[in-house]
Amino acid sequence: MKILNLNINGVIHTKAVPATMTLLDFLREEVGLTGTKNGCDSGECGCCTVMIDSKPMLSCIMLALEAERCDITTIEGIANGNDLHPVQEAMVEKGAIQCGYCTPAMVINGVHLLENNDNPSETQVKECISATVCRCTGYNSIEKAMHSAASKMRKARHG
Amino acid sequence: MSLFQENFDFVRPTSLDQLNDLVKEYQEKGLEFAFSAGGTDVIPKLKSQPSQLDKFISLNGLQDLNNVKIQGKRISIGALTTLSDLASHELVREHLPTLATAAHKVASPQIRNRATIGGNIMVDNRCIYINQSSINRECHDPCFKADGNVCHLVKSARRGDEILCQARFVSDTAPVLLLLNAKITIIGPNGARTISLGDLYLKDGIDSRSLQVGEVITTIEIEIPEDTSLHYEKLAIRNALDFPSLGVAVRITGNNLSIALTGLNTLPGVFHANSSNYDTFNDMVSAISTQAMDFAKTYQQDFFPRGYRKSMIPVFIQRGVTSILKDRQ
């Protein structure tokens, strides 16, 4: 066991963890942030995406100890209190959520894309969600939600 | 909860000296250790098959190896540079745009944010049986590559065969680096050495790299080409995540045509042709295409039918040639 201090959504969590614990298990089992989902547990489905130092990465194929000194943002840290992020709002409005299992990962990837580029091309949106598997929506509504969120964010920024 | 099949300890050295000391210590004590940079290849492997790992050595503390530098006419890429940093790096995009393209074609955005260039040239070989989850693999007896005693691909394979395992070489960046004549610097318990990237690859799917135990790649050096007439094309079931079923890099310099192949054999293939040996340019292209098709191993070890993969080789070579010649106009 090693002591791990981890900054998650702006809060420092200190726990003793075994080396074999993945970041995903740390978030879900130790800290109780169950928004991040465990799908394939082998880096294929994208469900476990979290932001590490502002970049989306897969938490199921990363040891918790490797995240030391990194800033982690999970789906729980995306909304501002009760105000949803424009990406979350758009996902609701466009019916881009069905079973909800991939939603946290879709939102994290979308937020990363749109915070860096609020006028993404169709290809950039497709690429952004390409590695998160959704078995319900057929992806169309998610793409629509991303474009709708982008337009909201452009309006908010540029009027 | 965690699906790791053993308990191991985690260490993260912060300098190469510290790394070498750890390696020497573990070797003396007879401990099993594994290196991990991004971990996107190593960690799924540790989850899917049992091993005797004692020490998991994370290389992420070696921050000196996470950079791209230009020194005169050479570009030096630290092995820990992530694929997304490499693909978007100004120097790489300006001088080695095809390397940026190839890096961008690896896996998925989330994986490229974590996976490194050193890891991609070291990425383990795989076949349709080994590149599966632990649940799927429980349905088969462990194969030679998983310390078992059978090959599901070549039923007649036996220990002692010259090539025991036919798992395919699947790096996307290596073909481009090979055509750029990249050199890699390796550091280990016996000091540092620099070799051509091509010398890293061996022809067995299990022991597929020439690194000695305890050695790691530190930098990749490339002489900036006078012209950037390169092209890389990848065939995969889907653009996101999949390893190349076939990858072809093409380079034209003066009268020379060179190609490098991935996904077709246990190691990458590199072929050169000089136009002075052929009547027409097209003759040269078909001759090199024939060589490439002969190099391809035609086992059914991919989701594409084997004949299809093979028949796409000349198509990809022609596409590369056409694209380069078009860019020159």
Q: What is the pLDDT of residue B238?
A: 86
**What pLDDT is recorded for position A149?**
98
Cβ-nearest to A41 among B3, B60, B238? B3
A97 and A67 share one domain: no
Q: Are residues A96 and A68 in the same domain?
A: no
Res B125: pLDDT? 96
Q: Supply A46's token pair.
A: 């994208």
CA B243/CA B107 separation, integer angstroms = 7
Q: Is A65 on the interface with B (CB under 8 A)?
A: yes
Residues A97 and A71 in one domain: no
Flag whether residue B240 sits within 8 Å of chain A, measured between CB atoms.
yes
Mutate which: B54, B108, B110, B113, vs A, most A CBs within 10 A: B110
Which residue of chain A is at minimal alpha-carbon distance from B114?
A: A57
In this structure, the answer to whether residues A18 and A67 fall within a common structural domain is yes
Domain boundary among A77, A108, A128: A77
Interface test with B, best of A61, A114, A129, A130 (most B CBs within 10 A): A61
Residues A91 and A64 in one domain: no
Task: Determine the average pLDDT of the residues in B299-317.
Answer: 91
- Pair A69, A111 in one domain: no
**Partners of A72 in the beta sheet?**
A8, A52
- CATH label of the domain that carries residue A32: 3.10.20.30
State how far residue B199 is from chain A, nearest Cα, in angstroms.
Answer: 30
Same domain, A130 and A72: no
- Whether the per-residue pLDDT at A101 is higher than 70: the answer is yes
Range of the structural domain that residue A50 is part of: 2-77
The answer to whether B5 contacts chain A (CB < 8 Å) is no
Looking at the complex, does the CB of residue A49 fall below 8 Å from at least one CB of chain B?
yes
Is-contact B197 B258, C-beta < 8 A?
A: no
Residue B226 has pLDDT above 90, yes or no: no
**A93 and A63 belong to one structural domain:** no
**What CATH number did the domain enclosing A114 receive?**
1.10.150.120
What mean pLDDT, rounded, does chain B reach? Answer: 94
**What is each CA distance from B154 to B127, B146, B202, B293, B300, in whole angstroms?**
11, 15, 19, 20, 10
Tell me how many domains chain A contains.
2
Residue B227: pLDDT band with limits 50, 70, 90: confident
Distances (CA, A) of B182 to B62, B294, B310, B321: 22, 25, 27, 21
Instruction: Grade residue A52 by pLDDT with cuts at 50, 70 and 90.
Output: very high
Confidence of residue B1 (pLDDT cuts 50, 70, 90): low
> What pLDDT is recorded for position A148?
98
Domain C-terminal end among A77, A102, A130: A77
Q: Distance between CA B202 and CA B197 in Å, rounded?
A: 11
**pLDDT at B119 exceeding the cut of 90:** yes
Q: What is the distance of C-alpha A99 from the center of its chain?
A: 16
Q: What is the crossing angle of helices B281-295 and B306-328, to 10°? A: 150
Examine the domain organization and report whether A31 and A57 are in the same domain. yes
Q: What percent of chain B has pLDDT over 70?
A: 99
Say what the pLDDT of residue B298 is. Answer: 74
> Are the beta carbons of B114 and A41 separated by less than 8 Å?
no
Residue B209: phi and psi, rounded to 5, are: -130, 150
Nearest to A131 among B8, B60, B109 (CB): B109
Task: Provide the pLDDT confidence category of residue B289 given band limits of 50, 70 and 90.
Answer: very high
What is the ipTM, given to two decimal places? 0.96
At residue B2, the pLDDT reads 55
Same domain, A20 and A40: yes
pLDDT per position as a tens digit, A31-47: 999 999 999 999 999 99
Residue type, B325: L
Predicted model pTM: 0.96
Say if residue A66 is in the same domain as residue A114. Answer: no
Residue B181: count other Cβ atoms within 10 Å of its Cβ. 15
Output the pLDDT for position A159: 75
The mean of the pLDDT values for chain A is 96
* pLDDT on residue A33: 98
Q: Is residue B302 predicted with pLDDT exceeding 80?
A: yes
Average pLDDT over residues B251-276: 96
Question: Cβ contact (<8 Å) for A131 and B113?
Answer: no
**pLDDT in the model for residue B3:** 65
**Same domain, yes or no, for A112 and A55?**
no
Residue A131 has pLDDT above 90, yes or no: no
- Domain stop point among A26, A45, A77: A77
User: What mean pLDDT do residues A111-127 have?
Assistant: 97
